[in-house]
Structure 1
Amino acid sequence: MGKKGDLSDFERGMIVGARRAGLSISETADLLGFSRTTISRVYREWSEKEKTSSERQFCGRKCLVDARGQRRMARLVRADRRATVTQNTTRYNQGGQKSISERTVRGTLRQMGYSSRRPHRVPLLSAKNRKLRLQFAQAHRNWTIEDWKNVAWSDESRFLLRHSDGRVRIWRLQHESMDPSCLVSTVQAGGGGVMVWGIFSWHSLGPLVPIEHRCNATAYLSIVADHVHPFMTQLVPNFLWLLSAG
């Protein structure tokens, strides 16, 4: 059995048409498959108000944040990715004609596609290093796997005994994971740990060398003399050694 709120305008018109054609309430109910109460109510509404359309589409709570408000909220999010819902709510309500709650802000952001996520961690690079890395990538973008097999890579890294980073959350869209405003920079320090140097290639692994003290120019040249040269002599000629510049 259909309900009043479930009837389309076409179904309501069929009920009115059947009754005006002379069919009784029972005959109309049997013909169209609706209850006698529904037939009676729809025809009475038409007789009194000449209305055959449903007002259900106008029911429900009015949206508090319209398209203009969503654009404003998006600007607030992009201006400060780390702002909490409370902060975004306060900033949105400043100067506005009507105030909204934190629940409304949270629901609107989700409706717009935003979600609270942990930012990706990326190395902290200077503008100069970013430029050099881009130049390197562009110069070698056409290299094949066979070309890269003739490269030996080396780098030093610190392994922390404890990782003390404050948990940060941001608001972003699904495709904005690598947007600069959605990233948090990291450095190779912060807490006790051990620093090691290593080298490897496609064909073999080199030694893993602990670095007891600060790795200055003298210490690095010592590592090169003691470990890089012996490792490179084991490889085929024309091998290229690349060390990290980050």
Structure 2
Amino acid sequence: MCDFSDFERGQIVGARSEGASVKKRAELLNVSQTTVPTVMTACTKHGASSSAKRNSDRNPKLPDRDRRTLQRIVARQHKTTAAKVTAELNTHLRNPVSTKTVRRELHKANIHGRAAIAKPLITDANAKLRKKWCHEHKTWTLDDWKNVVISGYSAGPLIHITGRMPANEYLDILNDEVLTMMSVLLQNTAIFQDDNAPIYLVLVRRELEYHQIFSLACIIARPQHN
């Protein structure tokens, strides 16, 4: 149907009120006779002289207050699903909304879901080794642990490294920085715990033995290294 102005609709409705026939009203606006009943039906449904398009916009399902409630729920539980967010939101609403509506409102607020990165779990064998390690050292005192220098975690010199580091460079840092610091601060009581990196393991243990420094086995590689 052609998009008529309110004035043109008013003409058709007014002509009908004056008793004009469909043919006469069609000639009045230079339209087909089938258009006149369509205009009359639209006017009856949406108002005598108002546009159907003006009434086609639906009120938002979530007013501003409910949108703020939704955003607070997501901010508090950012690691959750849209279905769970919808369920909680609906406990605050008089008229429940769908998960699709919640997603649409979140997207409008520039909040989007992302698939979490898969993280490998600790294997049964790894768990047993960790438990064994803990049992072996459960009697250590605080003073015992004060002598331990843990690779990558203990206080000491900060070494800037770019890219991958070959084993020989690792040994240079170990000799020039770490072992020197340990001999000064801890003297003969130093214990070094490396991170079990296979590329360094044999060389590091050999170097520690040469310097008569006790080596403490790592608590077993982290899950991502299994």
The alignment's TM-score, normalised by the length of structure 1, stands at: 0.40
- TM-score normalized by the length of structure 2: 0.42
Give the number of the structure whose alpha-carbon radius of gyration is greater: 2
- Per residue, is there more helix in 1 or in 2? 2
The structure carrying a bigger strand percent of its residues is: 1
